[in-house]
Amino acid sequence: MSIQVFANHAHVFPSSVNAEGTIDRLQRLMDVCGISEQVCFAPFAHQIAGRGMHHNEWLANELSTRKRMHGFGTVDFRHHVDAQSVTDQVKRIRELGLVGIKLHPNAQEFDILAPEAMEAYAAAEKYGLFITFHSGVHAYRIANYHVLKFDEVAEKFPNLAFSMEHMGGYSFFAECLAVIVNRIPFPPVPGKRCMVYGGLTSVFTPHFCRFWYMPKDRLIEAVAQATPDQLIFGLDFPYNLEDNVKQGIRAIKELGLPEADTQKILGGNLRDALRLR
């Protein structure tokens, strides 16, 4: 079979915010890199503040005619800015036809286990929305985003599917792997599976964001311990463009896995997690 790449993790913006991060620019990258389908993230509310638009409404409207793209909303935890409760925001994301949520504890400056975050997870579980988290070092208090906290999320919300992008980065790779492995049923339980995924995003380029880099031995270890069923490929567009994206796809294909396992990592797992089959 031929590999169909369905990638996670593309940040997209109105041209007035980031002219190199538009949906049209992403479309060109997809065509050049052979990507069939893509998950796009709405901007965070603070990134488009004062521009007369709502981040999730904007994305839903932009993707209404883009059949190869699937949208994730973002949640604004600044209650004094947005009158909607966190639960209402998540419900609205679902109503807009978006299929997941992007959360960034570092950029949004929240604790993974804060009450408002737990409210978002509960609502996402209720409405069947996948959550993609940033994980790893990113200029914020480590106490608030320590990767082991994701195990508590998995414990309290057993039906919530989520990914830890960058797999904790260079510094917290082992912790990320521990969370995933800890959530794989052992011994196997019929009908029960692990809902926690490792996001292979911005981990392939030693010359770019070295603090998230995973050399080949770590990629092999991630596959061996987490299994190909729990790994999802992502871009980190527009911060990675064509050359870096091609390098990432090539690195996965060169792991020497059976083609069916390569397909899982390059799109099958994401499709299953988003219930798009």
Over the stretch 121-159, which tens digit does the pLDDT of each residue have? 999 999 999 999 999 999 899 999 999 999 999 999 999
Whose tokens are 């737990």? That residue is: 118
pLDDT single digits (tens) 4-13: 999 999 999 9
Q: What is the mean pLDDT of residues 50-54?
A: 86
The span from the CA of 236 to the CA of 245, in Å, is 9
Q: Encoding tokens for residue 55?
A: 């981040």
In which band, very low, low, confident or very high, does the pLDDT at 1 lie, cut at 50, 70 and 90? Answer: low
pLDDT single digits (tens) 9-48: 999 999 999 999 999 999 999 999 999 999 999 999 989 8
Closest CA to 73 of 46, 45, 115, 108: 45
What kind of architecture, by CATH, is found in domain 5-273?
Alpha-Beta Barrel (3.20)
Q: Is there a contact between 197 and 247 (Cβ–Cβ < 8 Å)?
A: no
Q: What is the mean pLDDT of residues 46-59?
A: 90
Closest CA to 154 of 195, 203, 99: 195
Closest CA to 127 of 84, 164, 83, 157: 157
pLDDT at 224: 97
What angle, 0 to 180 degrees and rounded to 10, lies between the N-to-C axes of helices 216-226 and 242-253? 60
Closest CA to 14 of 41, 35, 43, 39: 43
pLDDT at 79: 59
pLDDT at 25: 98
Q: Is there a contact between 163 and 199 (Cβ–Cβ < 8 Å)?
A: yes
pLDDT at 80: 46
Q: Is the pLDDT of residue 179 over 80?
A: yes
Report angle CA 178, 251, 12 to the nearest 5 degrees.
80
Q: Is the pLDDT of residue 81 over 90?
A: no
Sorted by sequence, the CB contacts under 8 Å of residue 24 that are 6+ apart come out as none
10 Å Cβ neighbour count for 211? Answer: 12
Q: Is the pLDDT of residue 82 over 80?
A: no
| pTM (predicted TM-score) | 0.95
Q: Is there a contact between 202 and 166 (Cβ–Cβ < 8 Å)?
A: yes
Q: What is the mean pLDDT of residues 70-77?
A: 96
Q: Is the pLDDT of residue 115 over 90?
A: yes
pLDDT single digits (tens) 166-176: 999 999 999 99
Helix (H) or strand (E) holding 56: helix 55-62
Closest CA to 214 of 173, 177, 184, 265: 173
pLDDT at 83: 62
